[in-house]
Structures are given as structure tokens and as C-alpha cells.
Chains A and B, each alone.
Chain A
Amino acid sequence: MNTTALEKIQAAFPEATCKVVLDSVVVDVQPENLESTLSRLKHEPGLNCGMMLDVTAIDYLDFPKPQETRFYVVYTLRNWEENILVQVRTPVNDPEAGIPTATHLWSSAIFGEREVYDQYGIHFQNHPDLRRILNHWQFVGHPLRKDYPIEKGQICYETDSLEKEIRARLAKKGVDAATLKDINTEVMYLNIGPSHPATHGAIRILTALDGETILANVNEIGYLHRGFEKTAENRTYNQVIPLTDRLNYCSSMMNNIAYAKAVESWMGVEITERAKFMRVVLTEFYRVLDHLVCLAAALVDMGGLTNYWYLYNEKEAAYDLISRLTGARLTSTFTRIGGMYRDFYEGWEEDLEFHLRGIEKGFGDALKLVDTNRIVHDRTQGVCVLSAETALSYGLTGPTLRASGIPFDLRKDAPYYNYESFDFEVPVGTNGDVYDRFMIRFYEMEQSIRIIRQAMKYIPKGSVNVKDSQVSLPSKDRVYSNIEGLANHFKLIFEGVKVPLGEWYDSFEAANGELGFHFVSDGSGTPYKLKVRPPCFYIMGGFHKMVEGNMIADAVINLSCINIIGGELDR
């Protein structure tokens, strides 16, 4: 599949060096050709990369193999129709002067490049709003650079007032003194701030209102920035798994599985069939749980509190299964590189079936209350509409993209773990309004339960961990009885699983969209760089487009139905 993509791209860019890395084609270009390369990748009919998934930078200061410049910027693009994944790498000679921006091609670059500027200090020329996004505005320095000490914290004495940004946004929307005189009032600024029940976490939404209609909206995120990426650079590959748990903490095991899949696919470790089926069952189960929480919270925001009990109680009941299986309720850390922590327990099928029936009853009840409910329809249909082109341009993925009408699902378009042999459908919306984003999760839950039942029927017997001494820990009796077992255990724990040198990107269909991991490995047991491509981050980038022109109440239900999880948004 990728050799054709490689030929196509090499033919289109004969002067650039292209190579295939896992599923993607990596194109190395010089900074002067960057803009033309990106523009051709987007617009040329054969290439047509409509989505910019991620942009990140790499600091090669401590890298064992010397590189030509210290900083490189990598753009990850996707052509979702033909499933072509392209990564464009370019060296940055001077971070202060920087490289030209890509915001005129893809709007997802607005947030993405801000993050690169914040963490690495690389300027993007002609970026409309280049300021910090994850760290606070009084922060000095760029934390992800290799020469920034990890323990050096900086106190922020006051929150940013964002006055300049909201006035600029108002001016951009064309609201000036003349319009204000016409509507016979003044613009009122309302801050739906970081400490607010409607924001489900710590997000700051600053709105400029005319009565109740939102004229302009500026969002501030980064209140839960916990330094996942810098912390991961000091941990072994297996020690990063508890950190991944806390990314999207509502569906924590999906992050574990996505991370383990990313590392294993580069190492070339083929996990056992039983492990693959186990991961599919758990992925889909956690997808159901994530959608349950999202819908419960969304319905509470709309005023339908009963549904919260119908849906959340099922999630609470599922904790019984999860705590029996993994030992913890919420953050499980269940996968390991090369397999899982342990196998399913005896009798798991009956427990799982019992919980699935409870979940079906729960969301059946909630759906009955919501499906033909006039109030829900009036409040959500035609509200906060996002068209398909805007959604693609802002890099939305997952249920929110499918609600806007784009039938892109990694489980169907780029399948892994035997998803091509499961029989399930992918629900797709039509209008891209709140109703679509909201109802699509009900139908996705139904399909996920179908997949779980099929996987439960066909799961083979066998071990869950791969029998490779460089990857999986040896059994405890070998560790305690013989010296090779002990040494093997010691090396795997202290130095970590050794991953070959290189850079790669791997993606996974998580509950919110495409969860991607971009790794740079220096051949040791700790990652040199680990970047998460969080689905929520880019959805939040498009939030102001969805909300401007609607009322505050619509903004609140919109925020709840796009399922922003703070841990994943801010990492």
C-alpha cells in the first residue's frame, strides 16, 4: 500500500528525499521549499492532503547521531480518502527567524504551531496569533528544549486578561463602534472560566456578547498542562504507560493500548492473537465507557438529569469488572510492550456479558427519553453547525468529524488488530450540528458492543505476552531460580525495552478521534522524544468556529458534546 504512495510522492517531489516509515511517507525538504511542498500536498489532485494532523519539532541537542541542524519541524498530513499519511520534515536554521506558517493551508496549524512555539521557541512567520498555549504567559524559556532543566518551575502571579485577543477577534468579525451603535448596546464580556461546572475541566472561554449571542470567542487552554512529554523523556518505555493512562482518563486503557501498539509496530514485535483480541475487546469496552460519560455529562448540561443516572450508573457498575481485571478502577496501566499485564480472569465472559446487558439497557432507556424528545431536538438541531470542509481544515477526527459528514474511521480505513474481519458499521452524521455529534455516540456504542460480542466469541487461547526475552519480563520462577532470568529481569526493568534508532508516527482510533504518537528513539530504553497527537486539542482549536453566532447555552452544550478531556487536551 505504501510503495504506491511512496512512488507517487517521489514522482511529485523529485528533489526531496522520501522514505517509508511504518504507514507513512517521510519527505525531507529544505526550508525554502517548505511552503511550496505543503501547498502542493494540499492542493494537487493526486495528493490532496486535506487534514493536517499534527505539527511538532525535534531538538537534536543530545542525540547520539549528529544532525545538520539542532531543530527540525515535522508536519504530519493525511489524505483521508486514499489513506495516505505524509510527514514533511524540515530543518530550522534559526529558531528566532523561524519558518513560514501553514495556517493559510490548514486551520489546525493555528493551535499546532502555537504549541511548537511555546515548547520549542520556533517562530512561524505570518502566524495570526503566535503566543503561548500550554504554559502560562509569564513563563520564560521553552521547556521542551533539551537544555531546559525539567524541575525548574516558574510561578505565574496573575492570569492573562486576554483583552487584546478578544478585541482583535471582535475587530476581525467586523464588530466595531458603528455596529455597536446600531444594536443600541455595548458588548458585554463574559468569562466562562477555568473553574466552572460547564467546562468539564479547566478550560477558559472568554466571550464577547450581544445580549446572549456570542459575537466573538477566545479560548485559553493549558490549565492542566502536566508535562507529559518532558516527563516521558526520562522514563523507560514501560514506565511511560502510567503516564498515558492519565491522558484521556475516561477511557484510560485505550491510551495504553494505543501507546503499546505504537512502540510494538516500530520494534516489529508481533503480539499474540489472544493479546490482539483482548486489546480489541478492551478498546471497544472503554470506548463505550467514554461515550457513556460524555453523553451523561452532555445531557446534564441540557437539563436532563435522569439520563445521567441511567448512563453513569452503568459506568460505575463496569468498574467492578475493571477492578477485578486490572486492580484499579480508573487508571489501569494494563498493557505492557509485547502484550498485556496479565490474562483475563476465570469467568470474565459472564461478567462482561452481564455488564454489556446493563449498558444496553441503560443507554436504551436514555435513548428512549432523548430520541423523539422535542426539547432535545429544538435545542440541538441546527445549532453550532460545522461544515465538513471547516472540520477537515481544523483537523477534527473521530465522532465530531463523522458528525459533519466525513466517513473517516481508522478502524475501517487503515485497520489494525483484525478490525477488517469484524462486522460493524460506522455511523456518519449529515449536518455537523450538536444533535449529530451527540446522537452519533449512541450509535457508536451499539456498534462497539457488536464488536465486543464478536471478539468474545472468537478469542483464541494462548499466552498474552510475546515470548521474546528482549521485550517481555521472564516468569518469576525463572527470575528467582537462575541467574540469566535475574539478569534479564534486571536489564528490562532498569534499562527498559530497547527500541531501534529512528522516528515514527503511529495512530489509533480512540474514543475522541485519532490518537497519534510521534516517537524519536535514540536506540536506548527511554524515548528521546514522545509527542502525543491529542484529538481534543484540534477539536478545541475549531471550537470558536462552532460557537460564534450562537447563544451561551448553545456553547455550553456544544462543549459537552465534543467531549473535551483536560488530560488529553493539555497533556
Chain B
Amino acid sequence: MSTELIFSAVALIGIAALIPCFMIATTVLGPRSKGKMKNEAYESGVGPVIGTVDQKFSVKFYLLAILFLIFDIETVFMYPWAVSVRELGWFGFTEMVVFMLLLLTGLIYILKKGVLNWR
């Protein structure tokens, strides 16, 4: 097997083993604090405030999160393409342009719909 493979396997197993060690060490060695208000939600020193955690949020937060996800994944797809753009040549280039145009039409649609207007 190549040295890179062995090295990366050792590193992966080492890190995977080390992190639980740290977590166990802090759980065993760390002090515990007491206090009746310790586990309440932090609300700037006052609490518990009106309303519960599982109440309905405004839908625009969700919309923004989904849009971010979509465009973020688009960027993620562009990274491996950018690394091997020379090998892929003109064919790969046109593929990526088509991909971007499809998402661009989506962006124009949401702009027209006014979703990006935060109010």
C-alpha cells in the first residue's frame, strides 16, 4: 500500500480515538457545579421568559436557511470541478455553465418574488 494511504489511515484512526479520550477526561476530571437555575435557558439574566421553545417561528427564517443551503451546495459542487477543470476541457465547462444557469433562473425567481427582502 502507498505511504500516503497508510499515513492518512493512521491519522484518521488516531483522531477518531483521541477525541473521545478528551471528552472522557473532562467528564471524569472536571468539577460539577450546583445550582437550581443552572439548566434553565439563558435569557440575559432573567427567566423563564414568556413563550416556549417549540412555538412557531416566522417562515422567512426557514426560507432563508433553505436558500442558503441550495446555493451553498452549488458552491460545494463547484469546488471539485474547479480543481479538475483542465482535464475536463470544454465539455466540463459547458456542463457547469448549464448547471449555473439553472440555478440562476431560480435566483431570478426568488428575487422577483421578493423573498430576499428581509421585512
Which A residues are within 8 Å of any B CB, using their own CB?
A: 159, 161, 163, 166, 183-196, 204, 206, 210-213, 551
A204: chain B residues within 8 A (beta carbon): 44, 46
Q: Report the stretch among B1-9, B20-28, B56-64, B82-90 that lies at the interface.
A: B56-64
Are A189 and B58 closer than 8 Å at their CB atoms? no
Q: Quick check: which of B47-55, B67-75, B92-100, B104-112 contacts chain A, the rest being far away?
A: B47-55
**A210, closest chain B residue (CB):** B58
Are A211 and B61 within 8 A (Cβ)? yes
A183 CA / B60 CA spacing, docked (Å): 11
A/B interface sample: 5 pairs, CB < 8 A: A185-B56, A191-B43, A194-B44, A196-B45, A211-B58
Return chain A residues, CB-CB under 8 Å to B58: 183, 185, 188, 210-212
Closest-CB distance, B64 to chain A (whole angstroms): 10
Query: Whole-angstrom distance from the CB of B118 to the nearest CB of chain A?
Result: 7
**Interchain CA distance A192-B47 in the complex, whole Å:** 11
Nearest to A199 among chain B residues (CB) is B44
Which listed residue, B44, B50, B118, touches A161 by the CB 8 Å rule?
Answer: B50
If A196-B44, A213-B119 touch, does A191 touch B59 (CB 8 Å cutoff)? no
* Complex CA–CA separation, A194 to B56 (angstroms): 26
Instruction: Say yes or no: A194 contacts B118, CB within 8 Å.
Output: no
Residues of B within 8 A of A188 (CB): 51, 55, 57-58
Give the A-binding residues of B (Cβ under 8 A): 43-47, 49-51, 55-61, 118-119
A190 to B46 CA separation, bound complex (whole angstroms): 11
- The reply to whether A193 and B43 contact each other, CB–CB distance below 8 Å, is yes
Q: Is the CB of B59 within 8 A of A184?
A: yes
Of B45, B47, B60, the most chain A CB neighbours within 10 A belong to B45
Contacts of B45 in A (CB 8 A): 159, 193-196
Complex Cα distance A213/B51, Å?
17
Number of A-B contacts (CB under 8 A): 53
For B50, the chain A residues whose CB sits under 8 A away are 161, 163, 166, 189
Q: CA of A185 to CA of B51 in the docked complex: distance in angstroms?
A: 13
A191 touches B56 (CB 8 A): no
A212→B58 CA distance, assembly (Å): 9
Docked Cα-Cα span, A213 to B60, in Å, equals 12
Residue ID in chain A nearest B51 by CB atoms:
A189
13 further A-B contacts with Cβ under 8 Å, apart from A159-B46, A186-B51, A193-B43, are A159-B45, A166-B50, A183-B58, A185-B57, A191-B46, A191-B49, A192-B44, A193-B44, A193-B46, A194-B44, A194-B46, A204-B44, A206-B49
State A191–B61 Cα separation when bound (angstroms).
19
Once bound together, how far apart are the Cα atoms of A323 and B44, in whole Å?
Answer: 36
Q: Is the CB–CB distance between A161 and B49 below 8 Å?
A: yes
Can you name the residue of chain A whose Cβ is closest to the Cβ of B55? A186
Neighbouring B residues of A211 by C-beta, 8 Å: 58, 60-61
6 smallest CB-CB distances across A and B, nearest first, come from A193-B44, A211-B58, A195-B45, A189-B50, A196-B44, A185-B58
Report chain B residues within 8 Å CB of A206.
Answer: 49
For the complex, what is the distance from the CA of A551 to the CA of B119, rounded to whole Å?
A: 9
Most A CB atoms within 10 A — which of B50, B55, B56?
B50
B65 to A: closest C-beta gap in Å: 13
What residue in chain A is nearest B49 (Cβ atoms)?
Answer: A191
Question: Which of B46, B59, B119: most chain A Cβ within 10 A?
Answer: B46
Q: Are A191 and B55 in contact (CB under 8 A)?
A: no
- Residues on A with beta carbons closer than 8 Å to the beta carbon of B57: 185, 188
Which residue of chain B has its CB nearest to the CB of A160?
B46
Asked if B49 contacts A189 (CB within 8 A), the reply is yes
> Which residues does chain A contribute within 8 Å of B60, judged by CB atoms?
211
Closest-by-CB residue of B relative to A187 is B51
A188, B53: Cα distance in complex, Å: 10
Cα distance, A193 to B42, chains bound together (Å): 10
Residues of chain A lying within 8 A (CB to CB) of residue B61: 211
Q: Among the interface residues B47, B58, B118, B119, which one has the most CB atoms of the partner chain A within 10 A?
A: B58
Q: Residue of B at shortest CB range from A188?
A: B51
A188 CA to B43 CA in the complex, in Å?
A: 13
Q: Is the CB of A195 within 8 A of B51?
A: no
The docked-state distance in angstroms from the alpha carbon of A209 to that of B50 is: 12
A191 nearest CB across to chain B (Å): 5
Considering the chains assembled together, what is the distance between the CA atoms of A181 and B104 in angstroms?
34
Task: Give min CB distance, A169 to chain B, whole Å.
Answer: 13
Could you tell me the distance in whole angstroms from the C-beta of B96 to the nearest C-beta in chain A? 33
In the complex, how many angstroms separate the beta carbon of B49 from the nearest chain A beta carbon?
A: 5
B47 to chain A, nearest CB (A): 8
**Which residue of chain A has its CB nearest to the CB of B61?**
A211
Chain B min CB distance to A559 (Å): 14
A186–B44 touching, CB < 8 Å: no
Query: In the complex, which residue of chain B has the Cβ closest to the Cβ of A194?
Result: B45
Chain A residues closer than 8 Å to B44, beta-carbon distance: 191-196, 204
CB distance from B43 to the nearest CB of A (A): 5
Closest B residue to A193 by CB, please name it: B44
From residue A566, how far is it (CB to closest CB) to chain B in Å? 14
CA distance A560 to B50 in the complex (A): 26
Complex: chain B residue closest to A192, CB-CB: B44
In the assembled complex, the Cα of A210 lies from the Cα of B51 at a distance in Å of: 13
